[in-house]
């Protein structure tokens, strides 16, 4: 007698695929003030950086065969700023700020909402994975305390 697999058994086994657990591998990032700012499917450290300012590049639209990152930004849009680039030319940045302390945390090249531009840029050292901790990159370029003193 052939083995009968009921439809409900089949569908419940496909539901149990590990997609649920991989979807939960989301990273949460906070502003240095402790406010939740970003949730994303990859660590910021693993994403590429811009040559111009070292900002982390988050792809927000599918293009050129590349998939957009899955993320949600919790930030307040602020007025666009025209930034002069050393190699000549200007760049308009639509900036996002922390909703609590208004720290400038990122920008994109077109007006809000988030993801209206192909990329979202997160300022280097602006966010941390541990709530209430300052990211190690936050003081890049500053003289650190001399531990051997
Ligand atoms: Zn903040």
Q: What pLDDT, in 10s, does the model give residues 89-111?
A: 899 999 999 999 999 999 999 99
The answer to the question of residue 149 being in a domain is no
- Kindly state whether residue 33 falls inside one of the protein's structural domains: yes
CATH classification of the domain holding 92 = 2.170.150
Tally of structural domains, the chain: 1
Q: What distance in angstroms lies between residue 35's CA and the mean position of ligand 1's atoms?
A: 5
Task: Give me the chain's average pLDDT, please.
Answer: 84
93 CA → ligand 1 middle, Å = 19
Range of the domain at 113: 25-134
Q: What is the whole-number distance in angstroms between the Cα of residue 7 and the centre of ligand 1?
A: 50
Buried b (16+ CB within 10 A) or exposed e, 63-83: eeeeebbebebbbebeebeee
Q: From the CA of 23, how far away is ligand 1's center (Å)?
A: 27
Residue 142 maps to a domain: no
Q: 32 lies in a domain?
A: yes
Q: What is the pTM of this model?
A: 0.74
């Amino acid at each position: 007698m052939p083995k009968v697999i009921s439809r409900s058994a089949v569908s419940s086994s496909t539901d149990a695929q590990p997609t649920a657990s991989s979807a939960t591998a989301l990273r949460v990032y906070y502003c240095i003030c402790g406010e939740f700012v970003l949730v994303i499917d990859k660590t910021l450290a693993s994403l590429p950086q811009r040559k111009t300012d070292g900002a982390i590049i988050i792809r927000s639209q599918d293009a050129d065969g590349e998939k957009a990152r899955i993320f949600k930004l919790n930030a307040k849009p602020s007025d666009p700023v025209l930034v002069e680039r050393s190699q000549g030319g200007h760049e308009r940045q639509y900036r996002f700020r922390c909703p609590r302390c208004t720290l400038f945390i990122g920008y994109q090249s077109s007006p809000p909402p988030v993801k209206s531009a192909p990329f979202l840029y997160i300022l280097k050292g602006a966010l941390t994975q541990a709530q209430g901790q300052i990211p190690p990159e936050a003081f890049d370029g500053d003289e650190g305390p001399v531990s051997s003193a």
